[in-house]
Every structure is written in structure tokens, then in C-alpha cells.
Structure 1
Amino acid sequence: MSCGPGEPTFRLLDGYVGWDVAATSGLTGLRDPAGLRLARLGGDPDAPTRRELLPWFPDPRLAPAPEGGWFLATPGGVLRRGPDGAWRPVWTPGCDPEPPVRATLLASHGHWLAAADRDRVRVWWREGEQLTAVIRVRGGVRALAVDHRGGTVLATGHGTELWRFGPDGRPRGRFRTGLSGTIEGLRFGTRGRLHVLTDEHGTLRLWTLTRGRPRPATVGALGPGTALTDAWAGGFCLGEAGCHDWHGCPTGGPPPAAPSVHRHGELRTTGIDSGIPRCRWHRVTVDADVPDGCAVHLAVAVTEETDSDGVVVEPDDGDWQLAPAGATDFLIDAPPGRYLLLRLALTGDGTATPVVRRVRLDLPRHTSADLLPAAYLADPAAEDFTERFLSLFDVELAGIDRVLDRYPALLDPAGVPDEALPWLGGLLGFAFEAGWSPAVRRELLAAAPGLFRRRGTPGALRDVIRVVTGADPVITDLAAERAWLPLSDGGVRLGAGRLFGRSAARFRLGTSPLGGAPLRSHGDPATDPLTEAAYRFRVSLPAGAAPVETAAVERLIAAHAPAHTAGTVHRGGLGWVVGVRSTVGVDTAFVPLPETTVGTPLDRGTVLAPSRRGVRRGIAVGGTAGAATW
């Protein structure tokens, strides 16, 4: 039974408790928590189809990009779909990589992009701005995936062996998965787990590699999917973004799909025992999704009869109560009986299937009529009418009670819909920017208790900026960098400050030499040692941070920094510049040098290698030297 000790109040039929099956045909999912559905034609009825897996394993020519964008490999190059819906080249004319990218397979993760052609895989950081690795491959690439650190995993055209490479292209190992068939897709999911899609003689299988060992997986273990809904020889569809051909041009919808599932399936249960002699069964509630062209039909019967072996006797055809067409919640209008039998039929158009997740049977009958004086229930006909009439209001009140019981779930950032996140943020005092993704908003809400306990501290400010930008900021207290001599109990430390007169701190008539002091027209000169850079700080963001507007970051800082402080934002530049403040990790990137390019003019992005004659002897005719550009 699906109820606790004591008098039973309901029975559940689902993939967790069981369906009490007596006979079934044309259905699958009896042990699947996702629900019952029509079985597929041919092959393994429980195996997923390629179309169902598209949100997680797209066509090899497609790869998701940050901020809801997409990458598309076309014969003319790699395109990217921007926020305005237009497809544009990843590399603008004149800045194409050498040799040009003619990819047949793409993979991405965060800001990393990998593209494979016949014998080479190239990996970029910042969606194509910086080439970090070139991997030579023999036999062609069949499947490709890149993780959040730029590591690459690929499978070649034969077997199920996998090769791993670091973000710099260096081999990290090769291992045999032991799977049969061929590898059709690779994907890094949550916590860095690698999911593998294999094809075994036309049957698709999902696996998760745990410590190098494959374990069977389900679609639910893949995490959030993408907006890709369909793909065929002529194009693909991206949900509300519409359909496009393989050149990025808008096109019509996909062709009519061929029948892939059974058109009819039926399940009959055994006698479901209430444990109550002459039980008055009350209500049937069905939790189901019914697409267009599909239907769910139910029928119930109640009996007290069993044979000599204790098996419930099948009722006659006239004893079955058919549910109204399309009804998913109805009262059981049958004589009292200990056992209930249920028939569930699913029908479809051959391409779609209804999904029945759960059937609930309430027993025995309890309505608001039980609270009325006995005079209202003296007549059997009046009693039946009163119970059925009051049941209408009982259903509404029960629905309100369920909403109240589930209200705490609205405070769970991981469970509420995206539309409810601004409302939940308003309760906690978060003002979300329009460009923040739902994932960023959920992470901010989940971190809110810890952030509020430390609000106003550099650590809390660093954490909230990291969530929004995806990079570790460098927070510098400008007061600690001022040139005034610091005095403390430990005395003056050598090199910790400079001692000079007031005429060197602010230009003063008659005392300061021209060009020897800054000219300031605000504040009291006598308070300069106390007010110079006081309560001021700088937030430095590396160049690899998410493309959040500087104004949005400044508003975020103003909301989470102490009210008496003021902060500025410094974004990473192109590198170290003499005479300008730079920060390690913000204006620098430690990456391997790209391949040497011949014929490119020397500019700022050029490194000259020393010749054999020495470091400072330059490049001479007949000598050996090298140059690398990026």
C-alpha cells in the first residue's frame, strides 16, 4: 500500500510504488518515474530517440554559446547567433585564423570553443578570440567535448576509445571505455562528469563515466538542456527562435515526422485491495501530459468477489464506469466493494505520445456531507446527491490546501520557474539586472544567506562579483596605496612611505615649484593626509570575465559595498603597459605562444626570439631567429 499505518486514505499507481499490472500492451515506462507512454516501433522500446536527445547532444555542426547564443559550422566558416537573432562570422574578415576554419564538428563549454575538421582540432578561449591548442588527429573525429577548463575529449571514427587533451593541446591520456558499438556524442554535465552516447546496432544508449568506468544513465542525469528542438537534413529549430537552414538562413518547419510509436496502448490492473470490506471508493486523479492528437481513457470497476484461490473476479462489461472524455479527475460512482480494478488506455497519432505519471485513488469516501446533520443523509438518493455536490467544493478547498502546503517551495531558488526569480529576489533585496541569466540569479539567491551575514566586507563583495562575472576580482584599498608616510606603533618601516612637505602634495602659491605638485581645487589642503583616497577602493576584473556592462558592475558594487565607500571598476587590458598600473591575473594571461606565422607584419603582438649570436645581437642575415605573432 502507498499509505502509512492505520486506516488507508489513498492508493498511488506510478513508477515508484508500481502499477499493479495484470496485463499490458503497447506501453513502456512501467518502472520509469517519468511515467507511462506509448512504446516505440522496433528496437528497444525503452531506449531514447535521437530527437529526444537533441537538447543535450546537438547535431555535430551546432554548439551552444554563452548568453543563449549558438555556433554553427557552415561550408563558408563558423557563424555565431547573437542576441538579435542574426548569424554573423565568429572571425571578422581580415582576422580569420590561418588556415581558415572549415569545421565539420563543434563543441563548446562556457567561453571555450573547439572546432574539428578532417585531421585537426583547434581550441579557442573567449569564443574564438585566443587560440590555445592545435591537436592533430588521425582517422577523423567522430565525437568531441570540451570542459569548463578547456580540456578536450574526443573519439575517432573507429571503436569506443577516448583521448584526453589539456587546454594547451598536450595529451592527457587514452583509455578504453569497454562499450560496444560506436560513440555518437560526448557531453560534460554537472560536476564535470562525462556523458557518452553510443549506438549499438541502431539502439542508442546513455552512459556516465565515473572514474573511467561507464555506468548506464538516463536523460534526467544530463542536467539542463538547450533550446534545440529539431534537426533534419534541411535545417534545425531553436524553439521560439524559429527554424534555420544549415547556412543560418530562416526556413520553414521540419517535414512531417514518420510514425515512431504505437498508436494504442493499454494497461489493466489486478484487484487493488482497499483492506476495507464494502469500501466506498471516492475519487480518481490522473497526473498526465496529453499533447495534441493524443488521448487518455480510464475505466474503473469495484467488486467484492474473489475465487477460491483469492483472485479477484473480473467484473462484467456493464459494471465498468467510463471516465468522461478528457477528464483527469472524477468521482467513482459504483457500489461499495473491497477491490477496485482500473483500465488505462493511451492513444496517439504515431508521432507523439501521452505521458501518465501517476494515478491516485482516494478511499473511502469522505466529503463535507459528513459534517452535516444526519437528517440530510437519511434518504439514500439525497445522500448520494449531497455527497457528489459537496465534492465539487471539497476539490477546490483541497487545491487551496495543497498550494498552502507547497508555498515554502516558492522560496527554493533551484525549484521556482525563471519568471518567479525577480519576485524572490525582491523579497531578499536583490535588484537583478536585465542581462543576468537565470543561472546567475539562482546562484545569487542560493548564496544570499552567506552574503548577507558578511555584507559590506571585501570577501562578500568579491563573492557576489564572482557570481555575476564568472571571474575572480582583485579588490584594492586605495587608501593603502597613498604616498603619505604611515605611522604606527611599530614605527616607520623602510620603503613603506615617503616623507615630503605639504607643497609636494598640493600646489600652493609661493611654496610649490611648477610641475612639482598636483593642482587640486577641492577640499581643505590641511586635511589632505586624512582624506586622500580614504574609503576608496578599486575592483579589477580580468579580461576573461563575462561581458557584463561596467555600469552594471558599478551598480552591483554600490548595492553591496558599505554606504560610506566608493568603488571604481578596472577591466583587464591587452597586457602590461609601462607607466600604467597593471594587475597580475587581470592584465596578463599565462598561455602558450601560438604557432609562428610567416608573412605577418610585426606589431604589438609580436615576440622576437634571440638568434644564435646572443640575446642582444638582433636578427642578422644568415643567422637563425624566430618571430611569433598573435
Structure 2
Amino acid sequence: MTCTPHPATFRLLDAYVGWDEPTGGEPGVDGIVGFDDPAGLRLAHRGADPEGPTRDQLLPWFPDPRLAPGCGPCGWYLLVPGERRLLRRDRCSGAFTPLWPPDCDPGPLREPVSVAARGHRLAVVESDRVLVWRREGEQLVGVIRAERPRWAALGPGDDILVACQGGTDLRRYDTTGGFRGVLRTGAPGEVIGLRTGPERTVWLLTDDGGRLGIHRGGHGRPFRPVTVDELAAALPPSTLTSADEDGFCLSEKGPEGPETSCFTWQGLPRDPAPPATGAYVTSGSYLTTLIDSGISRCRWHRVRVDAELPTGTAAAVEIVVSEDGRYEESDWQVPVPGATDFLVDQPPGRFLRLRLRLSGDGGSTPVVRRIRLDFPRATSADLLPPAFREDPAADDFTERFLSLFDATLAQLDRVIERYPSLLDPAGVPDQALPWLAGLLGLSFEAGWDARTRRALLAAAPELYRRRGTPWALREAVRIVFGVTPVVDELATDRRWAWLRAAQRGDGPAQGLGAVRLFGRSASRFRVGGTALGAAPLRAFGTPDSDPFTAHAHRFRLLLPAGSADAAALRRLVERQAPAHTVGSVRTGGAGFVVGSRSTVGVDTAFVPLPAPVLGGAHPVRLNRDGVLRPGPRGLRRGVGVGVVSAVGIQTHMS
């Protein structure tokens, strides 16, 4: 569909191919990071660790030492070091009140440093000891003596971890203060955050000369650095969103959506603080090396930038082309602000150099994922007669003008090229699955997840090829409900009159099998062939068709109890069963199903028998529906096994 004579080649700048950073000490990067990050280039963080996380990003997992999340999403403890008291947030009013009432107040704390909580246990770290309470401060159970303790974390059971000032090793204690040993972490710097997680894991936040690091380990497992994404995947964040010199804010679920509550460090309500600014530097630049096209006097064609630009941020790309790598500052081509797709308006040259400038307001950053450079210039003007290209100025205008239409046609070409991928169940977005199912005549239930829908689409060709067979029905149920059913064809359940082969003498002979010729409920009365009263009278149809009308073209689907929703299963069976058949669904329950075929594991359950009681409202009748068994104290004397027992003769009732 494209009008260009041949597709243009291109050069990508991204984390996979490379950003062509300057080498040999040549200045080229200032305030931009992420050259090895697939997410793209971005402005650097302020401070000594421009690529690492900031303290504000980690607040939901490692709160301020004066705060500790307690039971429930609204449970928080607040330590007020200046007043040497501990507050707890009331779950009903949302206000911070003293933890201990006046008549139970143990008195002011002694130089408190931090607070920690887990479940109903509470710990307060002081300058030379750690106080441990149970039942949310009602019972003081231990006093741990330590040298310059700074942080504490409550582990499972009665395990308590204490981090001292100036190091990263952890000391283990029990609730009563008994020393259990030292946990060597090997992490550099100093611990500024400590907490425990599931499976007895321990998480550290360290500060190594201004560089923040997250480490994960535990007792018997080494500590290793982890990312913020790994932390977020393993531990749920708290409701703490910000903390500064004036106070902190909590974002909680309210009746009409998220609500933000802010407090001072004395526990008093205050107005929400303005959004934090200054996390990123406000500007940055990046200059590539000379990008070689390999073509002498190459006519570079187009520059496309794949970027995400939040409000208050901008990204600008400048280029310069030269044949020998030399250029002047005035040779740079500066596109209009905000342009992310523009044509190269430079003289022909083998080398191109690109300069990227990022800017922001300090609170957010632009992200540049990829830059594409197309060369050499190939447009639909190459298909015009030579007479249209005699004037160089007019030829340049014609090429740039036709490039607008070529770009639109190229987008259509890409859509057409990608169309086969829309027919791949594993590659289309979740929103396109119902559309793809409509092409195949499939219908989805509202409760089916994307994985089930993709599996059905992938199996659709084989299901259609073998539709109407027991295999197709079993496979459809297995894909949707994750369990393989038993397809019971009712025509094979009941044997009408049949002849079987038997070896008699020197040759086979046919004889009647040991079957009932006509059942008591499914046959009709025949004069001279059925005893009066043994079969009902039926005066319609043909007797010879009874075996077919009773069970032919009928089947039953058997599944274990609780394996599938019965209504959804019936709808699936109706869609997958042949039109001339009648299907029913049976799921397992408690006990045997009396009067029909029972299959062990499907509609059979091995359950204890009810206790036999002689007399009462529902008496047990001996030899009818009662099973005698030992009493609650065990077997003493009873019915002898292996002999004939009769009540009152060989049986002792005790």
C-alpha cells in the first residue's frame, strides 16, 4: 500500500540497542538517568543517589520512626518524643488519644526514639532499652537492655529484632529480654528502617552516604539488595502518604472514595500540605556520539520520539548532520517546542548527532522510552518523473510535502501488518477477546477470566473439528472449570434383552444373558409375556422402540461436588452438546445416590454413620436400618467378627 519505492532503514536509541553515550571523558550527560532502564530516560533524583528511590517513595513501607501502623487500616501509634508520651488513633473518631488512661498511665517515657507494632504487640525504643507490651499496651512483658538502640521490629512468635545506631547488624531477643544472637546482614551504611514480613523475612532500609538501599533476608538466609517493585510485591503498603517537619498525612478509604487526613506531630488535625516538590532536578541534557549511517552524503529523513510528558514537563530533541563530524553551534536544528515527530532539515551528511533536553517542575519528570532515526530519505517523490525534480528548492519542498501523506500511509501499513496478530489469542489485549470470539461464534460468560477466554480461543479449532463428541465436551468443561468430567451415556446404563457369546462344546452358542427383559418402570404390559402387576400399562407407541425412546441420545455429565457452578455448567453443556441429544448435569453431594448409577469420587461420599439410638423420637430398628458400634470409650465387648451372631444368643448388649 505504501507509495515509497523501498522501505527506509532506521536507527533506534533505547535501552536495548543503546543510547550511544559519549565515551573517553567527553561531557554528554547532565541530570539524566535511566540509560540501562527499559522504562526510558528520566530526570535524576536530587541528592547523592540520583537513580535510587527517595525517602518519600518508601514512606508507605518504612514510616517515620515516630509512627507505627497497628491493627487494621486505621490503627496507628504516634510517639511524641518532646512530650515523652505515646498516642493511639481511635478507630471510630480518627483522632489521636493517649494510649493509657490517666489511672493506668505508667508515667512519661525516658528519651523515646522510635515505636514499632505488630498485631497486639507494641515496642518503644528508648536511648538504652526497648520496652515491650502486649494487648496494645495493657501489659508490660519485657525490658530489653541494649547499647544505643535505634529501631525495633516485632517478628512472629515472641521474636524481637533491634538495630543499633551506626550499623546494620541486628540483635535478636525474646519478649522477656533474653538474648538470642546477632543477625549479620552485610549491608553497607546504617539502618534507617526495619520491618518484618511473611515467611519470617526481614526488610532493611539503609543509608550509605546519602544512597538509600533496600535489603531482604532473614534467619538462615543471606541479605541481598532488592528494588522498590520487589518490596511492593511482597509487602502491602500502609496508608501513610507524606511526612515533613510539620506533620504527616494518611490516605484512607472513605464512603465516597479516598480521603486524606493530616495531623501534626502532636496528633492534632491540620490542613493537607501542598504536594511535595523538589524530588527531581528541574533540567537535564544528554548528547550522543556521532551516529554513523554508513552512507556518504546521506540524506537523513525523520526523527520520532516515544515519550511520556506529564503536566509541567517537556522534552526537546535537537540534531545536527555533518559529513566529517565537524559542525558549529549555529548548525543545530531546533524543532518547535513539544514536537516529537519531525523531518530532518539538514544538508546531506554521513554522521548525525542528537541532543536531548528534559525539563520539569521538580515534582515529576518526563520519560523518553525510545528515539527512532529514519534514513536515507525515501518518499513518494522518487516515483515522480524527473521533470518534477529539476529545481533543487522545489524538489526539497515536494519531498517534505509528500512526506506528510507518506507518514499517514505508513501508519495504515503498520495497522495492516499487525492485523494477523489480532487473530492470536495469546497476543491480543484482554479487551479484544470478545471481538475475536465473535469471529469464531463463541460466547463468553461474564465470570470467565482472561486466561480462560484465551484458552478457549486457542482450543476453538480442535473443539469445532470434534464438536458433538464426548472428547470435545470434556475438553470444554476442563478448560472453563479446570476439572475433567465423566460423560455417562445413558443408553449403556440399562441392558435390555441381549444375546451374549458363550463357549459350549466345540463351537460358540448364543444364549440369553442374565438381564431383565423389561424393567418395572420403563416397559409396557405384554399379554402372555409379563406377569400382571409387574409392569405398568402403556397404550401408546410401539413396544419395539422402548429401549430407544427411554435412554437413546441422552447423556449425563458427572462432576465432583463444588467443582463448578451448576447453572454455568448447564449453559456450557447446552452449547456444546449435539442438537439431537438431551444432556443433564449432576454434581456430587453427601452420601450415595439411591436408584441410579453411582460413580466413586463423583456422586459418592464416604461419611460416618449416625449414632444408633434405641428408642426416642427416631428409634433404630434392629436388622433394618441400624448399625451397632462401640461407645465413646472404645470397644469392650461386642459382636464377634467371623461368626454368626444373633441378638440375644451370641451377642452381648453392653
Contact 1:302 1:338 in 2 (8 A): yes
The corresponding residue for 1:397 is 409
Match status 1:566 vs 2:582: yes
- Deviation of residue 159 (structure 1)? 10
- Tell me the CA shift for residue 355 of structure 1: 2.5
Distance across 2 between alignment mates of 1:612 and 1:539: 44
Shift of 1:104: 6.0
Q: Report deviation, 1:536.
A: 1.7
Alignment partner, residue 371 of structure 1: 383
TM-score by length of 1: 0.61
What aligned pairs does 1:298-447 form with structure 2 within 5 A after superposition?
298-305=317-324, 312-313=325-326, 315-447=327-459
| Distance of 1:495 and 1:544 partners within structure 2 | 43
User: Which residue number in structure 2 is paired with residue 498 of structure 1?
Assistant: 515
1:207-261 per-residue CA deviation (whole Å, 9 max, x = no partner) reads 9xxxx999999899999x99x99962389xxxxxxx9935887433797653444
Q: How many angstroms apart in 1 are the aligned matches of 2:558 and 2:345?
A: 71
Matching residue of 2:259: 252
- Which residue does 1:552 correspond to in 2? 568
Partner of 2:164: none
CA distance in 1, matches of 2:239, 2:540: 68
Match of 1:284 in 2: 303
**Cα offset, 1:566, TM superposition:** 2.3
In the alignment, the residues of structure 1 paired with residue 435 and residue 382 of structure 2 have an alpha-carbon distance, to the nearest angstrom, of 41
Residues 486 and 497, structure 1, Cα contact 8 Å, conserved in 2: no
Which deviations, in whole Å up to 9, do the C-alpha atoms of 1:485-541 show, x marking residues without a partner?
554557999999732446653354986766x55787986443222333222222233
* Residue 388 (structure 1) shift: 0.8
Please, which runs of 5 or more residues in structure 2 have no aligned partner? 1-5, 23-27, 64-70, 76-117, 121-133, 136-154, 162-169, 173-182, 207-211, 243-249, 262-271, 504-508, 608-628, 639-654
Q: 2:310 touches 2:364 (CA, 8 Å); kept in 1?
A: yes
Question: Does the Cα contact within 8 Å between 1:197 and 1:204 map onto a contact in 2?
Answer: no
Structure 2 counterpart of 1:361, which letter? L
Q: Quick one: which of 21, 35, 48 aligns to 2:40? A: 35
User: In 2, Cα distance between the equivalents of 1:234 and 1:52?
Assistant: 9
Q: SS at 1:358's partner residue?
A: strand
Determine if contact 1:234/1:245 at 8 Å carries over to the other structure: no
**Match of residue 10 from structure 2:** 10
Aligned to 1:527: 545
Deviates most, 351-360 or 254-263: 254-263
**1:465 equivalent in alignment to 2:477:** yes
The count of residues paired between Structure 1 and Structure 2 equals: 465
What is the CA deviation profile of residues 141-166 of structure 1, one whole-angstrom value per residue up to 9, with x for unaligned ones? Answer: 99xxxxxxxxxxxxxxx899xxxxxx
**What is the rounded CA distance, in whole Å, between the counterparts of 2:285 and 2:406 in structure 1?**
31
User: Are residues 398 and 429 of structure 1, via their aligned partners in 2, closer, same or farther at CA, if it must alter by over 3 Å?
Assistant: same
**3-state secondary structure, aligned to 1:434:** coil
Following superposition, the deviation at residue 38 of structure 1 comes to 2.9
Residue identity opposite 1:505 in structure 2? A
Task: Please tell me whether the aligned partners of residues 593 and 603 of structure 2 are also in contact (alpha carbons under 8 angstroms).
Answer: no
TM-score normalised by length of structure 2: 0.59
Structure 1 pair 576/412, CA: closer, same or farther in 2 (3 Å)?
A: same
Cα deviation, residue 611, structure 1: 2.8
Q: Distance in 2 between matches of 1:15 and 1:532?
A: 70
Deviation readout 1:282-332 (Å, 9 max, x if unpaired): 100112222333322111111234xxxxxx44x433221122222221101
Q: Is the 8 A contact 2:215 2:223 kept in 1?
A: no
Kept after mapping to 2: 8 A contact 1:274/1:338: yes
- Which structure 1 segments of 5+ residues have no match? 1-5, 60-71, 77-102, 106-117, 120-135, 143-157, 161-175, 188-195, 236-242, 306-311, 592-607, 618-630
The structure with the larger Rg is 2
Match of 1:400, SS? helix
- From 601, 613, 629, the counterpart of 2:634: 613
Summarize the Cα distance change of 1:295–1:486 in structure 2 as closer, same or farther, 3 Å threshold.
Answer: farther
| Cα separation, partners in 2 of 1:535 and 1:53, compared to 1, 3 Å | farther
Q: Distance in 1 between matches of 2:439 and 2:229?
A: 31
Q: Name the SS of the counterpart of 1:322 in structure 2.
A: coil
Which range is displaced more, 287-296 or 398-407?
287-296
- Does the CA-based 8 Å contact 1:49-1:204 persist in structure 2? no
8 Å contact kept, 1:284–1:332? yes
Are 1:51 and 1:230, in contact at CA under 8 Å, matched by a contact in 2? no
Letter in 2 for 1:278: R
Q: Decide whether aligned partners of structure 1 residues 198 and 494 sit closer, same or farther in structure 2, where only a CA change above 3 A counts.
A: farther
Deviation at 1:272, TM superposition (A): 0.8
How far apart, in 2, do the equivalents of 1:572 and 1:221 lie?
A: 43
Residue 580 of structure 1, CA deviation:
6.7
Residue 232 of structure 1 is matched in structure 2 by 239
Superposed CA deviations along residues 335-385 of structure 1, whole A, max 9, x for unmatched, are 222211111123334444332221111112121111112222222221111
Question: What is the CA-CA distance between 1:426 and the residue it aligns to?
Answer: 2.0
8 Å CA contact 2:11, 2:372 repeated in 1: yes
Change (3 A) 1:408 1:521: farther
Q: What secondary structure sits across from 1:444 in the alignment?
A: helix
Deviation at 1:333, TM superposition (A): 0.8
Please list, as runs of the form range in 1=range in 2, the aligned pairs for 1:501-512 lying within 5 A after superposition.
501=518, 505-506=522-523, 508=525
Does the C-alpha gap of structure 1 residues 441 and 370 become closer, same or farther in structure 2, counting only changes over 3 Å? same
Contact residue 554 and residue 569 of structure 1 kept, 8 A = yes
Residues of 2 paired with 1:397 and 1:487: CA distance?
A: 76
Q: How does 1:477-492 map to 2 (within 5 A)?
A: 477-482=489-494, 484=496, 487-488=499-500
Rounded Cα–Cα distance in structure 2 between residues aligned with 1:435 and 1:585: 27
Determine if contact 2:300/2:344 at 8 Å carries over to the other structure: yes
Change (3 A) 1:253 1:284: farther
Residues 43 and 203 of structure 1 are in contact (CA less than 8 Å); yes or no, is this contact kept in structure 2? no
Structure 1 residues 278 and 357: CA distance shift in structure 2, 3 A? same
Cα separation, 2, equivalents of 1:512 and 1:179:
93
- The answer (yes or no) to whether the contact 2:240–2:251 under 8 Å persists in 1 is no
Which residue in 2 is equivalent to 1:203?
213
Matched with 1:26 is: 31
* 1:153 paired residue number: none
Distance, in Å, in 1 between the alignment partners of 2:365 and 2:388 is: 46
- Indicate if the aligned counterparts of 1:483 and 1:497 stay in contact, CA closer than 8 A: no
1:178-232, CA deviations, whole angstroms, 9 ceiling, x for partnerless residues?
A: 9969786679xxxxxxxx995452534699xxxx999999899999x99x99962
* Aligned equivalents of 1:563, 1:613: Cα separation in 2: 59
RMSD over aligned Cα atoms = 5.1
1:272 to 267, 291, 296: 291
